[in-house]
Structures are given as structure tokens and as C-alpha cells.
Amino acid sequence: MQGVRRPTLSEARLESVLETAPDGIIVMDEGARILVFNKACESLFGYDAAEVIGENVRILMPQAHHDNHDLYVQRYRATGERKIIGIGREVEGRRKDGSIFPLDLSVGEAQTPNGRQFIGVIRDLSARRETERRLASVQADLIRVTRVSALDEMGSVLAHELNQPLTAIMLYLQALEREVHRIQVTHSRLEPRTSELLGKATREAQRAGSIIQRVRQLVEKRAPERKTANLNVVVDEALELAMLGHHRSVYLRRFGPTTLPGVLIDTVQIQQIVLNLTRNAIEACQCEADPTVTVTTWAEGDIVCLSVADSGPGIPAGRMGTLFNAFRSEAGNGMGIGLTISRAIAQNHMGELLVDPGGDGKGACFTVRLPAAADTAAQNRDSVAAMPMAAAAEADKS
């Protein structure tokens, strides 16, 4: 173009427009050969203008579109039916390095002394796509968080709604027991079977009651409250909840000494950790042969430890970096959020949550380490901490 003659004023203007335009501009002839490839195109596609001028425009498209593009051009020339010209659409471009990127393409047409030419204006959509992708990901995270809190809410409502009929059942059973007792006394007739069955029914109703109680304790919003507790008891109670619905599919092994130093903890928060780690462990190994979750408690000097290990495949190295990131849950079940909260709880207790990723046939193992309470008399396993309200009722009665 240059060197033959001085460019005219309008040619100079055009040149300047092409060079300074922020969008990519390509001009091609009827044979789809590239005539103009501006500066912006060079940085978009990674080609120098000299490399592509004279080439078929297909060079800038992914392989899959090569043949189609020729067909498009042929069809337009034959029918004059506009599919893109004057309309513009989103297509894919291919850089010199082979990478594909989304772009917005508008095409115009010009009749010139040298025949029909097509002008393409190109805008890179990579950044917009990335923003959209991130937005979608944030939305998905938000939905996940909402779902977790909706589940909490539902657990709370369910616990309350089930509690009413359960209360009635337990009262009826107590009334029935009195009735049977009265019949036995007035008619001097013993009803050992009836009493035995009633006793069994009452025990089962109480078991349902204690499960509801535990669900309620876990999901109720409440101020944190620290007291010295026996980690064994706290863990066993949480495991009962965590294993609900998994007793048949996953084998739970529980190891621990009968006595442990006391820990000054918010029992509900620590139970949340146990519940979370155990649920994750179940999820990690339930597709394996002989899925096993091993929960161990032990003391190391002034530290009381709890570990939850699974027989799953371990945590891939690539996931370790984001494992505790609240919003990077590949499992898609809020695991990331759970681990983040678990670690925060452990740290609030002056403790820590450690992870051994396993791998090579070894499952993952999470360990919570908590400082023993200062006035640490070893507590044995039977000293179940009384429910606060039951304790209040006891106090009131006396």
C-alpha cells in the first residue's frame, strides 16, 4: 500500500482510524482473503498484520468453523440472504497460539472499485465472559449458603413440629402405664407382657425425643456458652446425629480412652465440627468398598485431640490450597463452608483444625486439637452433661 504513491487525505485518515480504533477491524474481499488487519487485531489474535494479509480469514477461526465459513460466504453471494452482515453476533476466534476466545463480530459490506468487500469489527468478550462466569459462581455460592441456612431453618421447624406429637405420645404412654398399673392393683392381675411392651415403647419415644433435642440444640440460634465438658460425650452425641441414615451404608469405628482431660468448650459448636467432619468423611468414602469412618479421641499432654478419618481416596493435591476456602466447594454441598466454619470454631477455642490429605490408598484425616481446661480433672465417659433446661427444672424443684 505504501511506497507506490503518497496516500491521499482520506487514505491517511482511514489509516489513522484503523490504527487507533480500540476494536479489531478486518477487511476481506469476496474470496475471504484478508486485506486489512489493524493494530487492535494484532493484539487480539497475536498475529502481525504481515502474517495474515492475503490469507483466508479462516485462519482466525477455530478449526470447526473453517468449512462452514466458506459455505456461509458462498451462500451469501448466491442468495444475498444476510445471516450476519449488518446484524452482528457472538462467535469464536482463534489466536495464533491456538487458544479460542469469544468475540462479538459485526460485519458490514462495501462496494468498491475492486469488488465487494466485507468489513468486520471485532470486540473481545473474554473479560465479559469471565465476569459473567464469576458472577454465576458467586450466585451458585450464595444459593449454597442460602440452602445451608434454609436446611438449618427446616431442621428447627421440623424438630418443633415433630416434638408436639412426640410429646403427646409420651404423655399417652405414661397415662397408659398408670392405667395398666391401676388394673394390676385393683384386679390383682399381673400384666407382665403389657408392662414390658409399654416400657419398650416409652424408651423408643424417649430416644426420638433425645434426637429431636440434639437437632434443636444444633440449629437453634443462641449465644455461645463455654463450660467444661468431656469431649468423649460431646463427640458420641454428635456422632449419633451424624450417622443418622448411614448406619447401614458406612461402618463407624470409634476409639478413645475412657477418661480424658476436660475441655472448656461450647459443646454445640464443637458438635457442629464433629457433625461436619463426619458428614464429609461419609461422603468421601461411601462409594468405596467397605466404607469406614474412624473417629478417635485422645490426649497429648495438655491438648485433647479428636480425629475423623475416612477410607476414601484422600484429598487431591490440587484441592488442598482451597480446602478451607468458604466458597470453593467442589463437592457442591457446602463442604468448603463447613470446613471454614469448623476451623474458625476450633481457632476460637484456642485450638486448631489440621488436615492430612492422605492419598495412595489412604483416606483423609482431619484432626481437631483443643487445649485442656485449666481445672482439668479427668472426666469419665458416663458424666453426661445435663441439658441446661433440665438442670433449671431440677433447681426449681428443690
Partner 1 sequence: MTVHIVEDDDGVRDALSELCRAVGRSVQLYPDSEAFGSGATVEPDDMVLVDIGLPGEPGTEVVRRVFRLPVPPKVIVISGLPLADIHHAMRDFSNVLVMRKPLTSELLALLA
Question: Which residues sit at the interface with partner 1, rule CB under 8 A?
Answer: 156, 160, 163-172, 174-176, 178-179, 182, 205-206, 209, 212, 216, 220-223, 387-390, 392-393, 396-397
Strand partners, 369: 305, 352
Grid look-up 458467586 returns: 138
Least gap, CB of 226 to partner 1 (angstroms): 16
Tell me how far, at minimum, the Cβ of 233 lies from partner 1, in Å. Answer: 19
CB of 181 to partner 1, least distance (A): 9
Q: Cα–Cα distance between 241 and 214 in angstroms, integer?
A: 8
Report the C-alpha gap between 245 and 23 in whole angstroms: 59
- Least distance in Å: CB of 161 to partner 1? 9
Question: Closer to partner 1 at the Cβ: 30 or 220?
Answer: 220
Q: Each residue of 142-166: b (16+ CB within 10 Å) or e? A: eebeeeeeeeeeebbeebeebbeeb
Per the CB < 8 A criterion, the answer to whether 232 and 384 are in contact is no
C-alpha span between 274 and 280 (Å, rounded): 10
Q: For residues 216 and 381, which CB has a smaller minimum distance to partner 1 in the complex?
A: 216
Looking at beta carbons only, is 77 or 200 nearer to partner 1?
200
Q: Which is nearer to partner 1, 219 or 299 (CB)?
A: 219
Q: How far apart are CA 250 and CA 281, in angstroms?
A: 10
* Shortest Cβ 151–partner 1 spacing (Å): 17
- Minimum CB distance to partner 1 smaller for 172 or for 255: 172
CA 374 to chain centre: 38
In this structure, the strands spanning 251-255 and 292-300 are: parallel
Question: What's the number of CA atoms in the CB half-sphere (13 Å) around residue 175?
Answer: 6
> Minimum CB separation from partner 1 for residue 265, in Å?
18
- Residue 245, phi then psi, degrees to nearest 5: 80, 0
Cβ closest to partner 1, residue 155 vs residue 371: 155
Spell out the residues 6+ positions from residue 186 whose beta carbon is closer than 8 angstroms to its own: none
| Phi, psi angle pair for 112, to nearest 5° | -125, 165
Which three three-digit cell numbers place residue 380? 469419665
Length of the chain: 398
For residue 375, CA distances in Å to 52, 148, 227, 262, 379 come to 80, 37, 11, 8, 11
Which of residues 244 and 393 has its CB atom nearest to partner 1 in the complex? 393
CB of 223 to partner 1, least distance (A): 7
In the complex, minimum distance from the CB of residue 183 to partner 1, in angstroms, rounded to a whole number: 11
Of 82 and 160, nearer to partner 1 (C-beta) is 160
Rounded CA-CA distance 134/150 in Å is 24
